Amino acid sequence: MTTINRLRQSYRTKKRHPAELISGLFKQIKKLNPQLNAYLTLNEELALKQANELKNFDLPLAGIPIAIKDNFCTKDLRTTASAKLLDDFVPPYDATVIKKLKDNGAIIIGKTNMDAWAHGSSTETSDYGPTTNPYDLNRLPGGSSGGSAAAVASGLPPFALGSETAGSIRQPAAWCGVVGLKPTYGRVSRYGLIAMGSSLDCPGPLTRHVEDAALLLGLLAGYDKYDATSTKEPVDNYLKALKAKRKFTLGISDDYFEGVDSKIINEFMKAKRILEKLGHNFKKIKLINPKYSISLYTILQRAEVSSNLCRYDGVRFGKPRSSFSQQAKRRMMLGAFTLSVGYYDAYYLKAQKIRTLIINNFKEAFKQVDLIVAPTTPVTALKLGESETNPMFGEVMDQLIEASSIAGLPGINLPIGLQQGLPVGLQIFGPHLSETEIIDLAKQYEDETAFYQIKPSDFYEI
Amino acid sequence: MKYKTIIGLETHVELATESKMFCGCSGNYFGQSPNSQVCPVCLGLPGALPVPNEQAIKWTVLIGLALNCQINLSSYFERKHYFYPDLPKGYQISQYAKPLCQNGYLMVNNRKIRINRVHLEEDTGKLLHGQQFNDKGSYIDFNRSGVPLVEIVTEPDVESAPQAAKYLKQLQLIIQYLNVSDCDMEKGSMRCEPNISVVNYNSWQKNQQLPDYKVEVKNINSFRFVQQAIAFEEERQALLLDKNQQPKQETRRYLESKRQTEAMRSKEFAQDYRYFPEPDIPPLELNPTLIQKLNKQLQTIDLPTQRLEKLMKDYGLSSETALVLTENKKLGDNYLRLVKNSQDLDKTKLANLLINKKIAADLNPDDFFTQAKHLLSKKNIDQATFDQTIEKVIIDNPKAVADYRQGKQTALQFLLGQCLRTLGRQIEVEQLKHLLVEKLALKK
C-alpha cells in the first residue's frame, strides 16, 4: 500500500531515497509511455536533480513524485493543453496549485495527456494522439484528465493532478479504476489553470488511496488573492475527516440509473450493500433528471470556452488560430452563437436561469440527506475510436456528473470493482464545502473493501 | 436655421491608480520602456485571472456622484469580445447591462447635459507602427494594457461644437479636482469621441425624434480638434441633406492635417461584442455605507465651482482672474498655497504674477515672495533719465502738448502714458506726473 505518508516514512527512515525511486519511475515511464501515451512532456533532468538534492524531508510532499495534467502552467516546463497551438508554449509562471506543490516539496514528473483544451471525455481529441486505458490498451481512459488517470492507474506515479469542468476528473477516474476528487468550485485556486469553463473549472487530485487525495486537497485548497472566485472559507481538516467514521444518510435518485449499463448497476448495488453494512442508510430522493443538464451544460460550457479561447491569437505566444482542431472550432462556433445578439437571451441567459433551479434542487435535496451516491458513468471504458461517433460524446458520458458540476458541488469517484475486466466507479457528491463528509465516507468504504488491490497487469509498484 | 446639430459625447478617462485594473502591475506607464510593466494577467497569458482594483471602483463611484448619477449598488463586469492585436485576451473586461453609475447630468451654460452612464473597464495595449523605428513592422506595448479606464457617456443633448468643448472642459476640471486622473488629452489620459447627427431643424422642432443615423468620430486628441471635427461633420452632413441624401451611420476618423473626417473601412454589419457577465469576477455588491462615505468625501473636495467662488469671495479676485486660476488646476493650487503667506503682497497682484508666469509657480513661499518683491519694487530711476524721457516725449508729441496748453487734461494723461511706456510702469506715477507738469510749465 504505497501512500504519500508511507513513502515519506520510508524516506525518513532512510529505507528508501527519492533519487532511486524517481529514477526507477522514469525508467518505467519511458518503457510504458509508447503504448500508454500518458505523458506529453517529461521533467526528468530537473526531477532527478531535485530528488538528489533533497534535504528537507519534513515537508509534507518531500520527494513525492506527481504527474501534472498539461493544462496547468508550469514555469519553464512546456505546457500545451494537448493542443498543437501551444506546442511550443513555455509558461513564464507557475499556477498557484503548482507553486503549492513545489513549496511543499513535490517533484513534478511530467505533463500528462488530455483532451485538447480539456474538450472531451475520452482523451481521444488530444492533438498528440489518445492515451490508452491501462486495463485494456484498445480502450480509452476517459477524459479530459485521461493521461493523469492512466498514470495513477499504472502507478506511474500513483499521484496526479487533474482538473474537472464536468466529469474530467471523476469520469477518467472511473474508467481507470482510481480515486478522483473534484472539490467545491472555488475551493482550489484556478490561477494558472488554462481556462475552459470559467464558472465550472476545478483542479483536483487523482490517487489510489483516499488518504492521498485528502492530503493533497488539504495542501491545494485555500483562498488565493490571484483568483477572485476562490472562496475565503477556511480550509477544513481533511486528514482528521479520514478518521471521523460518521454515519450518513445517503440519497439515491432513480433518474441517475436511467440509461446506465446493467453491469454497472450490479456493481453499484453491491457497493450499496457494503455501505449499508457499514451503518449508513439510504433514502430515495427526487432530483431533476440529469438528462436536462446535458443541454444546459453544453450551452454554458461552450459559451465560456468560445470566450476563453479568444486570447489564442498567435500574437504573443503559440501558433495561429488555424491550428485549432475540429473539436475546438466546433465548440467555439456553437459557444459564440449562444452569446450572439438575438440568441443570448434564448440560450445563455436561459441556461443560467435553469442553473439556479438546479442549484436550488440540490439545496432542497441536501435538507433530507447528507450526501448523494450514484454510478459515475453510464458505461465502462469504450474502445478507441468510439468517441468520434458522436459530437456530444463528452456530454453523454458525463450526464451523471454534469448537474452537480453545474451547481459547483464537490464529489469523488471510488473504484468499486471490475466488470469484464474494466473498472466501474461509484460517485459520492455533497453540498458546497462538504469535502470532509465525502472523504469520511470514502475512507470507510476503502477500509472495508481495499479496492486499491485491483490493479492492471502492467502496474508498477513505485 | 435650416439644420440642427445633435451631439452625444463619449469620454474615456484613465484613472491614476497605483496599480492596474485587474493586476498588481504599476498603472503609471507614461515614459516607461515598452513591456516593462506587465504580468500574465495584463498580457492575457493562458491561465491568468483578473482581480478587480478596489480603488478604481471607489473612484468611479466618486466621479458618478460628482456628476449627479445614481449608483448601482449591484453592478458587475462583462466581457466585450473583439479581436485586435492590442487586446490580449480577445475581449475587454468592461461593463454593459449594469454600469456602476447611471442617469446623471452636468450643467453647461445653464443647459442640462444628461449623463447616461459612468462605467469602469480596462485599457488596451498600445500599437506603434514601425516608421518611428525605421522599420516596416508594427509593435505592441502592453504597459498600458489593463490600466483602469472610466467611460462617461452623455445623452445626445449637446447642440454645438463650442458647447461640446465647454462640456469637455468642465468634465476635465471636475475629474482633475477629484484627483483621480490628470485627465490630459495630450497624455492620452482623456479621450473623446463625439457622435454627431445633423437633422432638419423644423422637423426636429416638431417631434424631437432622433434620426436613425449618427456618425462616430475617432482619433481626436484635443478640445480644438473636437470642435473642428464637429464643424466639419455639420457641414458634410448638411450638404448631404441639402441633396436629400441621408448621412450614413458610420465611424469616421479625424485627420488633423486636413481638418476633416474620413470614412474608415466600412463594415458590412455592426460589431456583435457577445457581451456576457464576467465569470472570473463575482458581482459587485456595494455597501450603502461606502456610498455615504464617498458622498461625504465629495463634500470635502472643492470642485471647480466651489474654487471659483472661494477665489472671488475669500480673496477678492475678479471673476476673470478667478476663472483663469480655476481652469488651470495646478495654477490655482499654487495660488492657494502661496496666498497664505503673502503678507502685504496684494492678492490680485499675486494672481497676476502667476497667470503671467512672471515667477515659477512651484517655488516654496520664501523664494517666491523674495522674487516677487524684487519684481514689484519701485524702480530707482535717476533724475537725468526722467528729464531725458520727458524732454523727448514733449518734443515728439507737439499736438498733445498744444492740447494740454489749451487746457485738455486728457492730453496730460496721454503724455504721461508715453513717458511711462519708456520708463516702464514700475515707477512712482505721481512723482513722474509732478515732474512732467513742471517741465511743461517751464517750456512755455
User: Looking at this protein, which amino acid is placed at residue B305?
Assistant: T
CA distance B147 to chain A (A): 17
- Cβ contact (<8 Å) for A307 and B91? yes
Cα maximum dimension of chain B: 98
Nearest to A82 by CA among A35, A131, A44, A34: A131
The three cell numbers locating residue B251: 465611424
Cell 435518485, located at residue: A253
* Confidence band of A391 (pLDDT split at 50, 70, 90): confident
Q: Express each pLDDT in A109-121 by its tens digit.
A: 999 999 999 999 9
The span from the CA of A314 to the CA of A322, in Å, is 10
CA distance B281 to chain A (A): 6
Residue of A nearest to B275 (CA): A339
Q: What angle do CA A171, A176, A177 make, to 5 degrees?
A: 95
Across A312-338, average pLDDT: 95
The three cell numbers locating residue A23: 529514477
Across B266-275, average pLDDT: 77
pLDDT at res. A332 = 96
- Per-position DSSP letters for A240-276, written without gaps between them: HHTTT----EEEE-GGGGTT--HHHHHHHHHHHHHHH
Selected residue with higher pLDDT from B275 and B386: B275
**How far, in Å, are A29, A131, A386, B56, B362 from residue A138 at the CA level?**
19, 10, 11, 56, 80
In the sheet where A107-112 sits, what is the strand order? Answer: A39-42, A107-112, A65-69, A159-164, A202-207, A179-182, A411-419, A422-429, A371-375, A249-252, A281-284
Q: Is A192 left (phi over 0), alpha (psi -120 to 50) or beta?
A: left
Decide if A120 contacts A327 (C-beta within 8 A). Answer: yes
Selected residue with higher pLDDT from B119 and B249: B119
Chain B residues with CB under 8 Å of A313 CB are: 83, 85, 90
Helix (H, G, I), strand (E, B) or coil at A330: helix
pLDDT at res. B437 = 85
pLDDT at res. B355 = 87
Chain A residues with CB under 8 Å of B125 CB are: none
Decide if A166 contacts A297 (C-beta within 8 A). Answer: yes
Cell 477556511, located at residue: A234
* Confidence band of B412 (pLDDT split at 50, 70, 90): confident
Q: Which of B47, B49, B85 sits opposite A315 (nearest CB)?
A: B85
Chain A residues with CB under 8 Å of B89 CB are: 310-311
pLDDT at res. B380 = 61
Which of A121, A163, A168, A404 is catalytic? The answer is A168
- Cβ contact (<8 Å) for B276 and A316? no
Chain A residues with CB under 8 Å of B140 CB are: 315
pLDDT at res. B379 = 60
* Confidence band of B378 (pLDDT split at 50, 70, 90): low
Q: Express each pLDDT in A419-461 by its tens digit.
A: 999 999 999 999 999 999 999 999 999 999 999 999 999 999 9
Task: Give the per-residue SS3 of A194-252.
Answer: CCCCCCCCEEEEEECCHHHHHHHHHHHECCCCCCCCCCCCCCCCHHHHCCCCCCCEEEE
- Cβ contact (<8 Å) for A316 and B40? no
A245 is catalytic: no
A199 is catalytic: no
Packing angle, helices A350-368 and A291-308, rounded to 10: 130
- Cβ contact (<8 Å) for A229 and B85? no
For residue A221, report the phi and psi dihedrals to the nearest 5 degrees.
-75, 160
For residue A178, report the phi and psi dihedrals to the nearest 5 degrees.
-130, 170
Any idea which of A124-133, B317-326, B406-415 has the lowest mean pLDDT? Answer: B406-415
CATH class in words for B383-442: mainly alpha
The residues facing B6 across adjacent strands are B197
- Cβ contact (<8 Å) for B45 and A93? yes
For residue B298, report the phi and psi dihedrals to the nearest 5 degrees.
-60, -40
Q: How many A×B Cβ pairs under 8 Å?
A: 101
The three cell numbers locating residue A83: 493542443
Domain with CATH 1.10.10.410 in chain B: 383-442
Q: Express each pLDDT in A209-265 by its tens digit.
A: 999 999 999 999 999 999 999 999 999 999 999 999 999 999 999 999 999 999 999
Q: Which of B49, B81, B88 sits opposite A307 (nearest CB)?
A: B81
- Cβ contact (<8 Å) for A311 and B51? no
The whole-chain average pLDDT of chain B stands at: 91
Chain B residues with CB under 8 Å of A85 CB are: none
Q: Which helix or strand (DSSP H or E) is residue B120 part of?
A: strand B111-122
- Cβ contact (<8 Å) for B276 and A79? no
Q: Which of B49, B52, B88 sits opposite A311 (nearest CB)?
A: B88
CA B190 to chain centre: 8
- Cβ contact (<8 Å) for B282 and A317? no
Any idea which of A287-296, B53-62, B335-344 has the lowest mean pLDDT? Answer: B335-344
Say how many residues make up chain A: 462
Chain A residues with CB under 8 Å of B43 CB are: 316
Domain ranges of chain A: 4-453
Q: Which of B47, B52, B274 sits opposite A195 (nearest CB)?
A: B47
Report ipTM for this prediction: 0.96
Q: Is B268 left (phi over 0), alpha (psi -120 to 50) or beta?
A: alpha
- What distance, in Å, lies between the first and last C-alpha atoms of chain A? 10
The span from the CA of B191 to the CA of B126, in Å, is 14
pLDDT at res. B220 = 94
Decide if B242 contacts B234 (C-beta within 8 A). Answer: no
Q: Express each pLDDT in A90-112 by its tens digit.
A: 999 999 999 999 999 999 999 99
Query: Is-cis flag, bond preceding A157, omega within 30?
Result: yes
The span from the CA of B131 to the CA of B190, in Å, is 25
Residue of A nearest to B35 (CA): A316
> Which residues of A lie closer than 8 Å to B, measured between beta carbons?
72-73, 79, 81, 86, 89, 91-93, 95, 190-195, 198-199, 225-229, 303-304, 306-307, 309-313, 315-317, 336, 339-341, 344, 348
Q: Which of A89, A198, A340 sits opposite B274 (nearest CB)?
A: A340
Give yes or no for residue B425 having a pLDDT over 60: no
Q: How many CB atoms lie within 10 A of CB B262?
A: 12
Give yes or no for residue A69 having a pLDDT over 80: yes
Q: State the burial class of residue A327 (Cβ atoms within 10 Å of its Cβ: 0-12, 13-18, 19+).
A: buried
A144 is catalytic: yes
User: Looking at this protein, which amino acid is placed at residue B336?
Assistant: L
Q: Which helix or strand (DSSP H or E) is residue B9 part of?
A: strand B3-14
Q: Express each pLDDT in A8-41 by its tens digit.
A: 999 999 999 999 999 999 999 999 999 999 999 9
The span from the CA of B279 to the CA of A116, in Å, is 22
The residues facing B104 across adjacent strands are B115
Chain B residues with CB under 8 Å of A336 CB are: 274
In the sheet where B148-154 sits, what is the strand order? Answer: B70-71, B101-108, B111-122, B148-154, B3-14, B190-200, B215-218, B250-255, B260-263
- What distance, in Å, lies between the first and last C-alpha atoms of chain B? 65
Decide if B294 contacts B263 (C-beta within 8 A). Answer: no
Q: Which helix or strand (DSSP H or E) is residue B128 part of?
A: strand B126-129
- Per-position DSSP letters for A71-82, written without gaps between them: TB-BTTB---TT
Give yes or no for residue A395 having a pLDDT over 90: no
Q: Which of B85, B90, B280 sits opposite A229 (nearest CB)?
A: B280
According to CATH, the topology of domain A4-453 is Amidase signature (AS) enzymes (3.90.1300)
pLDDT at res. B69 = 98
The whole-chain average pLDDT of chain A stands at: 97
Decide if A415 contacts A424 (C-beta within 8 A). Answer: yes
User: Computed from CA positions of residues B346, B350, B355, B356, in that sequence, does the dihedral angle turn out positive or negative?
Assistant: positive
The residues facing B391 across adjacent strands are none
